Amino acid sequence: MPIALSEHAADLLTASMTWMDARWDEEVGLLIYAPDPGHAGRHAPIPGVRHGVRDTVWYALGLLQRDAPGDRDRACRAVSAILDWQFDEPGRPYHGTFYRAPEEAHPPADAVRWEHYDPNWRQFIGTALAILLEEYPAALPPDLVRRIDRAVRLAIEGEEGEGRLTERYTNIALMRAPFEMWAGTRYSQPEWRARGEAWAETIHRRFGEHGAYDEYNSPTYYGTDLFALGFWRCYAPTPRLQSLAEEMEAALWRDIAGYYHAGLRNICGPYARSYGMDMTRYVALLGQAIWIAAGRALAPHPDPTGPMEHTNDFMYPPALTAVGVRVPEDALPALRAFPGPHRVERHVGSTPIRVATAWLDEDVMIGAAGTDGQRPAGRQFHPLTVHWRLPEGGVGWMRMVAGDAVDARADEGQAHVTCAGDAVLEVYAPGATAADVGGGAWSLPGLEVRVEARAEGLAIDAEDDSLFIRYPGASSLTLSVTTR
């Protein structure tokens, strides 16, 4: 029987499955990968890759949730193909994980993590396989069940041998704890269960120090965290262990509610790990969780029938819908309507953010991170962010993309930043030009910005609809923003 879904969860699953159906390759038994050319570093597309192994396991899970004619056969075909691409090479660091794609080369003897293989596929694929075994054993042929059981064992053994995880790697640690508890229980492996329980206690204890995870305020990885906590809630072996997940899940949603702006349909920064700035344009997993909680019309998510950035993450909904989301009643109203101007200050107590502050007003919001000068801006870490409503609709935004030893603080209508070296701000404001930006005053569509900073040598570069504004050798900046 398919998992019972709420109306909003069923709507999200249908939209995701329709999108994935068009990418199924029957000959290969895998989904055709939808890479985002904007990815950089280890998240850049692998040259020559056409199919996605990890993505296909979520499709298989969605097929069994949907259970339309032909879905069971296709799901079995997909799972069988996924298992064909698992590494079974004891002693190698990649043992038990999976090829990212069948087109990539076999890892060399001196394989480098992230470059030649992704160790996280053990947890991403392993937890999905566990749900298949728990919820859909009757839909799977006995031989395939045996293969899945063996694949789970290999994933656990490989992770144990590599020994690379800490509880600070939040989204993966949150999956590993319940996955190993579940596997230890299913396969009568007390050491696996004990290790999973120890991980669970460590994660819960660390979270309890400040009510926050190390990967703090991440539009993408909060979605993975919510899936992991849902998996933990559903499949932990004891009521007490389940209660740990329920407690953290409720606390996480309450924290999200403080930063979320339902009018702008975005979560305010600062972001410890972010792949984009506007969740109405790029696919963020938190947007999918809010879709399940509040419905498509209110969700911070692109229209799946139109252009989307970070598209591959639209293959994730079957994982979220399989375990569901539980939003506390006191947090749900903020997901539906903006509650009014307010300030947030959170002592996070970990890296990269130690103190997070935010100011949210009707048409603008500011996020800032205090790091004690320990972290540079850039890549996925954005210690200063601004979002505002554009005159013609949509959202304009700003983020700090370069600057060393950054410390930032948000107050009502203002952001205060100190840093070493050049400070570089990326501004997305369609229609704005370099002529609209001066050293001390900017006039952007929908937003006036007054800047207190040393402006000698100010440099402005335009790229598509963005401006990159560089304050050379800036030691401090104060930005005051006013919507218009």
Give me the chain's average pLDDT, please: 93
According to the model, what pLDDT value does residue 12 have? Answer: 98
**Domain regions of the chain by residue span:** 7-335, 340-483
Is residue 136 predicted with pLDDT exceeding 90?
yes
- Measure CA 188 to chain center: 33
Please report which confidence band the pLDDT of residue 373 belongs to, taking 50, 70 and 90 as the band edges: confident
Cα(316)–Cα(294) distance, rounded to whole angstroms? 18
**343, 42 contact by CB (below 8 A):** no
According to the model, what pLDDT value does residue 404 have? Answer: 87
Both tokens assigned to 387: 């979002």
According to the model, what pLDDT value does residue 36 have? Answer: 59
According to the model, what pLDDT value does residue 421 have? Answer: 86
According to the model, what pLDDT value does residue 2 have? Answer: 56
User: Each residue of 398-411: pLDDT tens digit?
Assistant: 999 988 889 999 99
Cα(423)–Cα(203) distance, rounded to whole angstroms? 35
The burial of 8, by beta-carbon neighbours within 10 Å (0-12 exposed, 13-18 middle, 19 or more buried), is given as: buried
Both tokens assigned to 391: 């005159």
According to the model, what pLDDT value does residue 368 have? Answer: 96
User: Each residue of 177-233: pLDDT tens digit?
Assistant: 999 999 999 999 999 999 999 999 999 999 999 999 999 999 999 999 999 999 999
Is residue 48 predicted with pLDDT exceeding 80?
no
Task: Please report where in the chains the tokens 């591959």 appear, as a residue.
Answer: 312
Between β-strands 384-389 and 364-370, what pairing exists: parallel, antiparallel or unpaired?
A: antiparallel
**100, 52 contact by CB (below 8 A):** yes
Cα(97)–Cα(120) distance, rounded to whole angstroms? 7
Which has the higher per-residue pLDDT, 45 or 397? 397
Instruction: For residue 143, give every residue at least 6 positions away whose Cβ sits within 8 Å of its Cβ, in sequence order, or none.
Output: none
Please report which confidence band the pLDDT of residue 33 belongs to, taking 50, 70 and 90 as the band edges: confident
Torsion of CA 282, 287, 292, 296, to 10 degrees: -50
Please report which confidence band the pLDDT of residue 162 belongs to, taking 50, 70 and 90 as the band edges: confident
Is residue 375 predicted with pLDDT exceeding 90?
no
**230, 236 contact by CB (below 8 A):** no
According to the model, what pLDDT value does residue 14 have? Answer: 98
Q: Which of 94-98, 152-156, 366-370, 419-423 has the lowest mean pLDDT?
A: 419-423
Is residue 40 predicted with pLDDT exceeding 60?
no
According to the model, what pLDDT value does residue 43 have? Answer: 52
Average pLDDT of the residues in 9-15:
98
According to the model, what pLDDT value does residue 376 have? Answer: 80
Could you tell me the fold of the domain covering 7-335?
Glycosyltransferase (1.50.10)
Torsion of CA 139, 141, 143, 144, to 10 degrees: -40
Q: ω before 307 within 30° of 0 (cis)? A: no
According to the model, what pLDDT value does residue 35 have? Answer: 60
User: Each residue of 332-356: pLDDT tens digit?
Assistant: 999 999 999 999 999 998 667 899 9
Cα(287)–Cα(241) distance, rounded to whole angstroms? 27
According to the model, what pLDDT value does residue 374 have? Answer: 76
Which has the higher per-residue pLDDT, 73 or 163? 73
Q: What is the length of the chain?
A: 484
Please report which confidence band the pLDDT of residue 4 belongs to, taking 50, 70 and 90 as the band edges: confident
User: Each residue of 246-303: pLDDT tens digit?
Assistant: 999 999 999 999 999 999 999 999 999 999 999 999 999 999 999 999 999 999 999 9
Please report which confidence band the pLDDT of residue 455 belongs to, taking 50, 70 and 90 as the band edges: confident
Q: Which of 6-15, 117-126, 205-214 has the lowest mean pLDDT?
A: 205-214
Is residue 483 predicted with pLDDT exceeding 90?
yes
Cα(343)–Cα(412) distance, rounded to whole angstroms? 7
pTM, full prediction: 0.96
Between β-strands 447-452 and 466-471, what pairing exists: parallel, antiparallel or unpaired?
A: unpaired
Average pLDDT of the residues in 49-76:
96
